[in-house]
Amino acid sequence: MKMNAAVLHDKGITSVVEMDKPECGPRDVIMKTVRSGICGSDVSGIGIDKDAEYGHETAGYLTEVGSEVKSLDVGNRVFINPMEACPTGRSMMLGGFSEYIRVPDAELGKSIYLLPDGLSYDEAALIEPFAVGTHGKNVPNAKPGDHVVVYGVGTIGLSCISGLCAQGINPVAIVRNDTKRALLEKMGAVVCNISEVDEFEFLKEVFGESTGRVGFPVLDIDIVVDCAGAPNIVDDFLRMQKRFSQLSVVGVNMNPTPVPLVQVMSSEVIIRGSCAYDDADIREVIDNLASGRTYMKEIITHHYKLDDIQEALTMAADRKQAIKVVIDME
């Protein structure tokens, strides 16, 4: 049996080809893909081999279940965790833009998660990026009562903010324009447009001041989550200087960033990395989506058919028009 699948030839250049549908082994499952979101890595080609199947923000239903697979049945609506379903370092090539995906050694609660009744496939396609943003706020253990600032309001930043608001935390979102103000405020965030106001005066007004390690007044901010990868964020965080405050680094910045260690030492702040997600993040995201505690579905700005994936990739690269672009696979 044949299927259609998108393969990436070069950055931003893809085509839909016909290939053999994957076969199901005794410990495997086959998922019919229904929705797949386009990630920034799909546009840039980072982590994707030339002419390989790709796409990793995906959901669908099982059409085949191997004889040795437990607790899964044909017809189950599922999310695939690409970090567990793919070999190490190859999660970007799960095959979300293929009509069928084989999950080897399928295991419920590890590589496969059941979708609750009522959770749409559109929402399910957001689980993977939502989990990345959720991990960003869970690494520093954000809890109600914490004063939190989030830099970056792309898909991951919005995911982080949505997870915080679902938890009862209303963060300040640092932005440079008001294009997403309505959505951010609907989610529950406080918007700081640094093109119009002084960032630090704004944060002082919202959160107030505390006493620093050596007695000087500092901003009363507990956690900063970097979902932007901008070079100024480390310096901004170190200017805040609250003792034991944490910077969670989610955004990708490929360039070296100077860190004045004397400021780290004198304020006893903590800088932490946040990469991908864990089982607890995925479960939290599914629960938040299923319970309606978020407005994440509203970040989907465009839908395309698989045959139009080249046009979809172009749109996904246009940050002025698109937030999350989704491919309708059936």
DSSP letters along 295-322, please? -GGGGEEEEEEGGGHHHHHHHHT-TTT-
Both 147 and 267 in one domain: the answer is: yes
For the chain, the domain total comes to 2
Q: For residues 6 and 267, what is the distance between their CA atoms, to the nearest angstrom? A: 50
Domain assignment present for 156:
yes
Both 217 and 289 in one domain: the answer is: no
Domain of residue 269, residue span: 140-273
115: number of CA atoms within 13 Å, CB side? Answer: 25
What are the pLDDT digits (tens) for 148-159?
999 999 999 999
Residue 12 has pLDDT above 80, yes or no: no
Both 267 and 283 in one domain: the answer is: no
Both 80 and 38 in one domain: the answer is: yes
What are the pLDDT digits (tens) for 164-182?
999 999 999 999 999 999 9
Percent with pLDDT over 90 in the chain: 95
Both 201 and 183 in one domain: the answer is: yes
What are the pLDDT digits (tens) for 107-135?
999 999 999 999 999 999 999 999 999 99
Is residue 29 within 8 A of residue 64, CB to CB? The reply is yes
The pTM for the full model equals 0.97
